[in-house]
């Protein structure tokens, strides 16, 4: 990022950790500076905002900035331009089509600065340094996966003793995994297991098929992320957590869900280990709103709508992201957390016209 001072200020906010609140005035000031930087570097975004009356000199609040739909990441040159240090690609599940979204990240230092304190606060709040068992492929094998990149950074900074048991081709080293779990059991050393929901389903199915189970030592914990779409049979979350408990011996109160997306450089975790709460909490440098799908007006707590995140770590692309995820802010969260209710809320397809995504999937073949 050219604007060195802005970057330093952002990194300082993130470095202060997730427990240091960022009042709205401070957030808004950074949001304005980031937006001005984005308008300078991305004239497309500048014109997009100007068409809605938001432009240099007319800043009112970060809330007035028009959200950019996640789908725009599928089109080249809209959300970020110029040189970049990394290109992360979506799995293709967003929107169901097979056109993969692309997040060009000009400056990885913001990604790293955002992900580390957030991960540490929610997975290692006790200061533990644990061996990490990863069901997420190593970053060198899937350099365009933002999730793998994140796990690589966690390995470098927080978990040097990391083993990867899923390859870039998605294949799971089941023998290696079982041996790693057995070693942990024998040594009595707790472990941190990280993986996608569908990788856990695969693992648990294979353990169940062979009638094998482990009692991983107390202090072990799990980070579970992502959906199931097209990768394994869908399993309700409670059922998955009970199965993890049954086969690995890690109870649900030590299983943390991470909600993240390629389009955002910050993540959302459930503060399960610290507060026992199952809702997703944005770090101080992210503001999440629930928007009315029809008007995009912010909805009050308790109302279901589309999740829209304003993530300052996205300074290199666009900060205000309109997702396709339905969510709600529980009134008891008092503005500091939300629940993800899933995608495609309509239970029944309406009408006899073919749904767009089904059609594109049919035409181009299933998502990778």
Partner 1 sequence: MRTFPAWWLPPGLPGDGPSLDASLSVDGRAPTSTVSVGDSLRLRFPTPDPAFARRVCDRLAEAGACLRERRTDALVASLGRAGARFLDPADPLRKAALDLLPAAAGLSPAMAREVLNGMARDWTADRLTRLVRAQFADPGVLDGFRPGPGGSRVRAFGRRLIVQLGAGNVAGVSVGGMARALLARSPVLLKPGLHDAVLPVLYARALADCDPELSAAVAVLYWPGGAAAVEAEVLARAGLVVVYGGGDTVEAVRANLPATTPLVAYAHRVGVALVGREALAGGRAERTALDAARAAATFDQRGCVSPHLFWVEEGGEITPAGWAARLAAAMAEVERDLPAGPSPPEVASQLQQLRGTWELKQAAGDGASVFRPPGLEWTVVYDRDPAFSPSCLGRFVWVKPVPDLEQVAGLLAGLRPFLQTAALCGAGGRAPSLVEQLGGVGVSRVTSLRRMPWPPAWWHHDGDDPLRGLVRWVDWEVE
Supply the minimum distance, in Å, between the C-beta of residue 279 and partner 1.
Answer: 21
Which of 83/351 has CB closer to partner 1?
A: 351
Which of 81/245 has CB closer to partner 1?
A: 81
> Residues 113, 10: contact at Cβ < 8 Å?
yes
Which of 256/320 has CB closer to partner 1?
A: 320
Supply the minimum distance, in Å, between the C-beta of residue 96 and partner 1.
Answer: 10
DSSP string, 151-216: HHHHHHHT-SSEEE-B-TT--B-HHHHHHHHHHHHHHT---EEEEEHHHHHHHHHHHHHTT----P
Which of 128/340 has CB closer to partner 1?
A: 340
What is d(CA 181, CA 159) in angstroms, rounded to the nearest whole number? 17
Supply the minimum distance, in Å, between the C-beta of residue 222 and partner 1.
Answer: 30
Supply the minimum distance, in Å, between the C-beta of residue 2 and partner 1.
Answer: 21
> Residues 157, 53: contact at Cβ < 8 Å?
no
Which of 25/352 has CB closer to partner 1?
A: 352
Supply the minimum distance, in Å, between the C-beta of residue 225 and partner 1.
Answer: 22
Which of 258/324 has CB closer to partner 1?
A: 324
Number of residues that make up the chain? 368
What is d(CA 252, CA 270) in angstroms, rounded to the nearest whole number? 12
Supply the minimum distance, in Å, between the C-beta of residue 31 and partner 1.
Answer: 19
Supply the minimum distance, in Å, between the C-beta of residue 19 and partner 1.
Answer: 34
How far is CA 332 from its chain centroid?
23
Q: Which two tokens stand for residue 22?
A: 């960022």
Supply the minimum distance, in Å, between the C-beta of residue 98 and partner 1.
Answer: 13
DSSP string, 203-214: HHHHHHHTT---
Q: Which residues pair with 311 in a beta bridge?
A: 286
Residues with Cβ within 8 Å of residue 227, at least 6 apart in sequence: 93, 197, 198, 343
Which of 78/261 has CB closer to partner 1?
A: 78
What is d(CA 337, CA 257) in angstroms, rounded to the nearest whole number? 13
Which of 78/115 has CB closer to partner 1?
A: 78
Which of 175/363 has CB closer to partner 1?
A: 363
What is the C-alpha end-to-end distance of the chain, expressed in Å?
32
> Residues 228, 197: contact at Cβ < 8 Å?
yes
> Residues 311, 285: contact at Cβ < 8 Å?
yes
Find where tokens 């294949």 sit.
171
Residues that bind partner 1 (CB under 8 A): 44-45, 47-48, 51, 66-72, 74-75, 77-79, 95, 293-296, 304, 306, 322, 324, 326, 344-346, 348-356, 358-360, 362-363
Reduced to 3 states (helix: H, G, I; strand: E, B; else coil), residue 87 is: strand
Supply the minimum distance, in Å, between the C-beta of residue 286 and partner 1.
Answer: 20
């Amino acid at each position: 990022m050219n604007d060195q001072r802005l970057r330093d200020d952002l990194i300082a906010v993130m470095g202060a950790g997730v427990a240091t609140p960022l009042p709205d005035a401070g957030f808004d000031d950074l949001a304005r500076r980031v937006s001005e930087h984005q308008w300078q570097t991305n004239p497309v975004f500048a014109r997009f905002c100007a068409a809605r009356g938001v432009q240099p000199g007319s800043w009112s609040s970060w809330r007035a900035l028009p959200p950019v739909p996640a789908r725009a990441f599928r089109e080249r040159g809209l959300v970020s331009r110029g040189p970049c240090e990394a290109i992360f690609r979506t799995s293709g599940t967003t929107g169901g089509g097979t056109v993969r979204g692309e997040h060009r990240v000009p400056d990885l230092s913001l990604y790293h600065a955002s992900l580390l304190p957030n991960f540490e606060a929610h997975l290692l709040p006790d200061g533990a340094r644990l061996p990490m068992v990863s069901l997420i492929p190593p970053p060198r094998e899937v350099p365009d996966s933002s999730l793998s990149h994140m796990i690589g950074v966690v390995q470098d900074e927080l978990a040097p003793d990391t083993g990867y048991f899923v390859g870039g081709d998605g294949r799971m080293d089941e023998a290696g995994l079982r041996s790693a779990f057995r070693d942990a059991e024998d040594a009595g050393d707790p472990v941190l297991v990280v993986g996608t929901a569908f990788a856990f389903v695969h693992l648990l199915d294979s353990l169940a098929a062979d009638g094998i189970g482990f009692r991983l030592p107390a202090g072990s914990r799990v980070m579970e992320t992502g959906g199931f779409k097209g990768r394994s049979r869908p399993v309700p979350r409670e059922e998955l957590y009970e199965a993890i408990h049954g086969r690995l011996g890690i109870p649900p109160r030590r299983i943390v869900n991470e909600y993240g997306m390629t389009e955002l450089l910050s993540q959302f975790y459930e503060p399960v280990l610290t507060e026992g709460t199952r809702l997703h909490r944005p770090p101080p440098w992210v503001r999440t709103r629930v928007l009315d799908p029809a008007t995009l007006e912010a909805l009050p707590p308790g109302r279901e709508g589309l999740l829209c995140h304003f993530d300052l770590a996205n300074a290199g692309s666009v900060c205000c992201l309109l997702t396709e995820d339905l969510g709600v802010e529980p009134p008891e969260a008092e503005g500091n957390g939300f629940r993800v209710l899933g995608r495609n809320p309509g239970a029944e397809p309406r009408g006899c016209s073919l749904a767009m995504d089904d059609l594109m999937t049919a035409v181009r073949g299933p998502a990778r």
